[in-house]
């Protein structure tokens, strides 16, 4: 039965070394290396490394099917490490939480080009294969199925880019999961303003004389511009005004953020990450999604604004689909709300209850 519920009509900057709360076990970490990985562009890497973190242990039923595995995917320029923050792990992974790490087997990969997985800044720089979202979800699936030996997922969810990957998982591996929860995303190709800000970053880096075709010795000036665009798009106007109610304060806030962000960013990594959405286009196959899906966006999301009507229109094509657009409030953070689990976890609870075996 089709369910439609519309309420009130990060992008993720990576953070390294996040310490989990005392009542959450520290994640185990590992690397899955795929030999001679062939990208959809036709190029091959002798070794593609996918770094990952896991919490908990897989539980199999009498037929050997894993029943408690949860895959959570991060956003553009982020990593699986970001989900250790109190606003996410502290709300979900704690004892008695919706995704209690003692009950669930939680898988947090670093996608291609991100975190500790293979990426341009490892050495190939701009000669790194131009990967896309389809390469990313293929590597995610290989990690889950081939390396971790998980043959079924209780839940697939993700934020921003990870939300877009969630839609693709529902289409490409329709029988692999019980439930899907894309956060901060739309089931349509990147277009309009969403495409434009990505192109702005791409062109700024590629036309920067300091970029030197990716062979720079120090980070080009355009990296700062990229950080500023990411900062601008990831929050909402009200929050930015509250933080910076005067001209000088706005300048200072932006300067402070950009100066800090560029210390941990790399121009080639950012360039390839923002360009990787080129092949994202789930629109043609939405009817193929079998698992119940709850898509959650917020009304103050500049990247996925609800006035486009895309989510409300396309969710009708998902057999067991539900769309939720959370109103702007003092709890929302624009696009960045996708990581503030307290704002939307009630919908996760409903989805988990609905799909209990």
Interval 241-262 mean pLDDT: 96
DSSP letter (8 states) at residue 333: B
Dihedral (CA of 119, 341, 157, 302) sign: negative
Structure tokens at 246: 């005067």
DSSP three-state, residue 246: coil
- Name the β-bridge partners of 37: 45
Helical spans, DSSP H, in the chain: 89-92, 133-142, 161-172, 192-206, 222-234, 237-243, 247-261, 267-275, 310-314, 341-354
> 277-319: per-residue pLDDT in tens?
999 999 999 999 999 999 999 999 999 999 999 999 999 999 9
- The DSSP string of 150-195 is ---BSEEEEETHHHHHHHHHHHHTTTSBS-EEEES--SS-S-HHHH
How many other C-beta atoms lie within 10 A of the C-beta of residue 46? 9
Copy the structure tokens of residue 343: 């704002």
pLDDT for the residue numbered 270 = 98
Q: What is the pTM of this model?
A: 0.93
How many Cβ atoms from other residues are within 10 Å of residue 237's Cβ? Answer: 11
The pLDDT assigned to 342 comes to: 98
Q: What percent of the chain stands above pLDDT 90?
A: 91
60 phi and psi angles, rounded to 5 deg? -110, 150
Asked whether the predicted pLDDT for residue 10 surpasses 60, the reply is no
Tens digit of each residue's pLDDT (9 = 90 or more) over 89-135:
999 999 999 999 999 999 999 999 999 999 999 999 999 999 999 99
CATH fold for domain 28-354: Rossmann fold (3.40.50)
Tell me how far apart the alpha carbons of residues 217 and 244 are, in angstroms, rounded to a whole number: 35
């Amino acid at each position: 039965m089709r369910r439609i519920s519309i309420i009130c009509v990060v992008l993720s900057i990576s953070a390294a070394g996040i310490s989990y709360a005392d009542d959450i076990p520290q994640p185990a970490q590992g690397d899955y290396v795929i030999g001679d990985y062939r990208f959809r562009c036709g190029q091959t890497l002798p070794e593609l490394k996918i770094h990952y973190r896991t919490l908990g242990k897989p539980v199999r039923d009498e037929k050997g099917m894993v029943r408690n595995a949860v895959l959570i995917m991060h956003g553009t320029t982020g990593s699986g490490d970001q989900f250790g923050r109190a606003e996410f792990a502290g709300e979900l992974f704690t004892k008695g939480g919706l995704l209690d790490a003692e009950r669930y087997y939680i898988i947090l990969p670093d996608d291609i080009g991100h975190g500790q997985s293979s990426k341009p800044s490892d050495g190939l720089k701009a000669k790194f294969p131009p990967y896309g979202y389809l390469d990313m979800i293929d590597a995610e699936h290989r990690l889950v199925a081939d390396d971790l030996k998980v043959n079924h997922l209780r839940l697939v969810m993700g934020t921003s880019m990870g939300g877009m990957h969630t839609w693709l998982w529902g289409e490409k591996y329709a029988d692999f999961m019980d439930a899907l929860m894309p956060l901060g995303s739309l089931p349509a190709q990147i277009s309009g303003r969403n495409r434009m800000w990505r192109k702005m970053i791409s062109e700024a880096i590629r036309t920067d004389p300091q970029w030197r075709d990716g062979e720079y010795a120090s980070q080009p000036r355009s990296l700062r511009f990229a950080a500023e665009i990411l900062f601008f798009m990831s929050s909402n106007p009200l929050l930015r005004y509250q933080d910076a109610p005067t001209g000088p304060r706005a300048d200072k806030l932006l300067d402070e953020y950009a100066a800090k962000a560029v210390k941990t960013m790399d121009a080639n990594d950012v360039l390839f990450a923002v360009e990787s959405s080129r092949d994202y286009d789930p629109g043609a196959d939405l009817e193929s999604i079998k698992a119940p899906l709850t898509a959650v966006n917020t009304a103050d999301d500049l990247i996925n604004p609800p006035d486009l009507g895309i989510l409300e229109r396309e969710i009708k094509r998902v057999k067991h689909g539900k769309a939720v657009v959370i109103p702007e409030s003092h709890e929302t953070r624009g696009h960045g709300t996708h990581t503030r689990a307290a704002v939307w976890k009630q919908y996760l609870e409903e989805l988990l209850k609905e799909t209990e075996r």
